[in-house]
Amino acid sequence: MKDFPINTALTIVTVGLVVAGTGLVSPTIKGRILAKFAALAELALDRVPLSPMQRRNAPVVLPASTVRIPPSTILFNDSNGTLDHFYSALWRTEKREQGAVTRITHYGDSPTTGDLITGDVRSILQSRFGNAGDGYVLIEKPWAWYQHRGVDLFGLGWVTVTAGHPGVQDGMFGLGGGSFTGSESASSRILFRRARNSRFEVWFLRQPGGGRFTVYANGQMLGSVDTSGDAKSPGFAAFRSELPARDLLVHVDQGSVRLFGITAENPGPGVVYDSLGLNGASIVVLARAFNEAHWTEQLRHRSPDLLIVNYGTNEAGFTPFVDKGYEVELREAIRRIHAALPNSSVLIMSPMDRGQRASSSEVETMPTIPRIVNIQRRVAEESGCAFFDTFDAMGGEGTMARWYSAEPRLVAADLIHPYGNGGEIIATLFTKELLTGLARFKIQRGPESPEVVPKSPPSKEPGPTSLDSTNMDTRAVPSPIPVPHASASQTPDQADGPHQEVHAPAETRHQSHLHGKGTIIVLAAERSVSEELLAHPDSLKELIQSGLLFTVSNGTPVEIMETQGSWIKVIIMDGPMRGRSGWIAGKQVQPRIKSTAYSKR
């Protein structure tokens, strides 16, 4: 204790008592004088080591070369033509070609079971491209929370078994993962809130001793089906009603029948989006639980233009499986799908964030979620699939904590299942990527009428992703940046400072949707930007409206993140758009960004 500064401590205490006493004896001394003492007490000085004594040095400034902003995550990868078949079909639908129905089949776990995200994706796409029907619906509700938006389902007398359940040993669950066995008087009534379906198909199993069922639409009998057969095999019974039906009834008249589901469509053109969710499901359902030969026939009969594989949330709770078995199962599921649907596009959609409560009761991301996302990204690239990173698109680690504390809440208390408004956020992010991809596809293909193209065989070598896929970080994407206009008296070299002007050919200038001149830097292939974009004003408009174009003012400081051919990805380092990233033409990167101007003559 003899080294302790006793005299100094006594002095500090004495001064404090004097100040406090002065304020009590003479209140008029309070105010500025006491406030100065309070400010002194709050003054925080840098700590200096008592021993050994060291000379204070200026703060160390790290060299600029050691400071790096990590490249933004690739949220959406449709490179190497992985979605070309789907884009071709969707373009035909958009052109309103007769009978052009684009079919999407989405496999997932419990959020898909409740049609939470899929219902919003369906609504967005059908609002844009037309509604070709409600799609595939199970014949009965396996769980009370099974939903298909716009459809009400009432079943009676069915014995239900879902994929992975030990009650069914043959692995035959139809397309949607549910098997429903009913005897005489078993029935299902399916009510469509909008009368738009006129083509129906009942999916069932032919088997020895199979019974008979009858189908009614709006109370009128459409026909009866005998399900008997020499051996178990898939059966499909198609019916048409003269008028769109709101009320469909499937009734077992004789014996025992085994049904899977129904499809409800109309002639189109439009989009049909099947949501095939199983509560508690994992990728093992597709890799192991489904009888491969049976499932192959189901997939080929449905023949979707795009099949989406959306699992990972339930697997996240089993760390050893994630580290040792998950990738094997995922690759097996993708192998089965490619074997059944060699021409269809396939997309792996990552799980959302999944929260858990730490020992401090704070909500944190389960550490297995990012690992699952990385596995899915790699498998997608190596197996010829497109990929959408739901986890990072919604905000990455800690998102469920933020969603749970938001007002209103976006996720339930289990930190897994989104509420409706949360599901809508995911759906909007996903469809924005799909529509931007379609716009790029149309630019690259040219103005000719699209033909549905077979998908290229999977490439063993990872291909470039910058020009065929949007690598921009779309978390909290702001509205498209306004395009600065030049006055009529300005020459191209005077507007917005020095820049290089790209002129459209005379025959295409009148088609541009741009007004005046601006600094729009556009994602495009390595062909002439003016020829590619101005020849397709609708696609250009879609890209602008998507918010994924890169627009900057002259003199904006940027850092190069990566390059692909003559294109460079940069991130804005200063100003109101700091942190925004996008692609620009490589020749435009100088000490400061130079702009490319499009002019409308």
Nearest to 108 by CA among 249, 237, 239, 274: 274
Please report the pLDDT score of residue 270 as a whole number.
97
Between 37-51, 263-277, 316-330, the lowest mean confidence (pLDDT) is in 37-51
- Reduce the DSSP state of residue 351 to 3 states and report it: coil
- Give me 282's structure tokens: 């994992």
HSE-up (13 A, CA, CB side) for residue 22: 13
Residue 162 lies in a domain: no
Please report the pLDDT score of residue 455 as a whole number.
54
- Give me 52's structure tokens: 């050994």
For 377-417, how does the pLDDT look when each residue is reduced to its tens digit (9 = 90+)?
A: 999 999 999 999 999 999 999 999 999 888 898 988 888 88
Residue 204 lies in a domain: no
Domain end (from 25, 42, 57): 57
Identify whether the C-beta of residue 194 lies closer than 8 Å to the C-beta of residue 133: no
Please report the pLDDT score of residue 240 as a whole number.
96
Q: Does the structure show a pLDDT above 90 at 310? A: yes
Which band of pLDDT confidence, cut at 50, 70 and 90, is reported for residue 292? very high
Which band of pLDDT confidence, cut at 50, 70 and 90, is reported for residue 490? very low
Between 175-184, 531-540, 584-593, the lowest mean confidence (pLDDT) is in 584-593
Domain end (from 20, 37, 57): 57
Please report the pLDDT score of residue 201 as a whole number.
98
- The label of the residue with tokens 């509205």 reads 479
The stretch 557-562 carries a mean pLDDT of 62
| Beta pairing class for 76-77 and 101-108 | unpaired
For 104-156, how does the pLDDT look when each residue is reduced to its tens digit (9 = 90+)?
A: 999 999 999 999 999 999 999 999 999 999 999 999 999 888 999 999 999 99
The rounded distance, in Å, linking the Cα atoms of 135 and 305 is: 13
Residue 314 lies in a domain: no
Sequence letter at residue 287: A
Average pLDDT, the chain: 74
Who's near 450: CB < 8 A, 6+ residues apart?
Answer: 87, 88, 91, 92, 95, 442
Q: Does the structure show a pLDDT above 60 at 229? A: yes
Q: Does the structure show a pLDDT above 60 at 35? A: no
Provide the H-helix boundaries in 222-325.
Answer: 284, 292-302, 319-324
The long-range contacts involving 154-157, CB below 8 angstroms and separated by at least 24 positions, are 154/188, 154/189, 154/190, 154/191, 155/180, 155/186, 155/187, 155/188, 155/189, 156/185, 156/186, 156/187, 156/188, 157/182, 157/183, 157/185, 157/186, 157/187, 157/252
Residues above pLDDT 70, as percent of the chain: 62
Please report the pLDDT score of residue 296 as a whole number.
98
Decide which of 367 and 40 is more confident: 367
Residues above pLDDT 90, as percent of the chain: 54
Q: Does the structure show a pLDDT above 70 at 220? A: yes
The rounded distance, in Å, linking the Cα atoms of 509 and 517 is: 12
The rounded distance, in Å, linking the Cα atoms of 407 and 405 is: 7
- Reduce the DSSP state of residue 121 to 3 states and report it: helix
Domain end (from 57, 84, 99): 57
For 563-590, how does the pLDDT look when each residue is reduced to its tens digit (9 = 90+)?
A: 555 556 666 666 666 656 666 655 444 4
The rounded distance, in Å, linking the Cα atoms of 315 and 312 is: 5
Please report the pLDDT score of residue 588 as a whole number.
46
The stretch 482-492 carries a mean pLDDT of 29
Decide which of 51 and 224 is more confident: 224
The rounded distance, in Å, linking the Cα atoms of 430 and 432 is: 5
SS (H, E, C) 199-222: EEEEEEEEECCECEEEEEECCEEE
Residue 522 lies in a domain: yes
Sequence letter at residue 256: S
| Beta pairing class for 345-349 and 306-310 | parallel
- Reduce the DSSP state of residue 272 to 3 states and report it: strand
Residue 10 lies in a domain: yes
Please report the pLDDT score of residue 494 as a whole number.
32
- Give me 375's structure tokens: 């596995």
The dihedral sign for the CA sequence 26, 27, 31, 36: positive
Residue 545 lies in a domain: yes
The stretch 490-506 carries a mean pLDDT of 30
Provide the H-helix boundaries in 496-536.
Answer: 506-509, 529-534
| Beta pairing class for 595-598 and 499-501 | parallel
Nearest to 305 by CA among 256, 343, 250: 343
DSSP letter at 61? Answer: P
Which band of pLDDT confidence, cut at 50, 70 and 90, is reported for residue 359? confident
Q: Does the structure show a pLDDT above 80 at 76? A: yes
Backbone angles phi, psi at 485, to 5 degrees: -105, 150
HSE-up (13 A, CA, CB side) for residue 189: 9
Which band of pLDDT confidence, cut at 50, 70 and 90, is reported for residue 165? confident
The rounded distance, in Å, linking the Cα atoms of 21 and 26 is: 8
Residue 112 lies in a domain: no
- Reduce the DSSP state of residue 241 to 3 states and report it: strand
Residue 87 lies in a domain: no
Nearest to 517 by CA among 545, 495, 494, 546: 495
Nearest to 140 by CA among 186, 71, 108, 208: 186
Identify whether the C-beta of residue 560 lies closer than 8 Å to the C-beta of residue 593: no
Please report the pLDDT score of residue 280 as a whole number.
87
Identify whether the C-beta of residue 78 lies closer than 8 Å to the C-beta of residue 386: yes
The stretch 493-502 carries a mean pLDDT of 31
HSE-up (13 A, CA, CB side) for residue 28: 0
- Give me 140's structure tokens: 């009965």
For 93-107, how does the pLDDT look when each residue is reduced to its tens digit (9 = 90+)?
A: 999 999 999 999 999
Report the 10 Å Cβ neighbour count for 326: 25
Give the domain range for residue 584.
499-598
Q: How many domains does the chain have?
A: 2
The stretch 36-46 carries a mean pLDDT of 36
The stretch 19-24 carries a mean pLDDT of 52
For 236-255, how does the pLDDT look when each residue is reduced to its tens digit (9 = 90+)?
A: 999 999 999 999 999 999 99
Q: Does the structure show a pLDDT above 90 at 214? A: yes
Q: Rounded to 5 degrees, what angle do the CA atoms 26, 29, 33 make?
A: 150
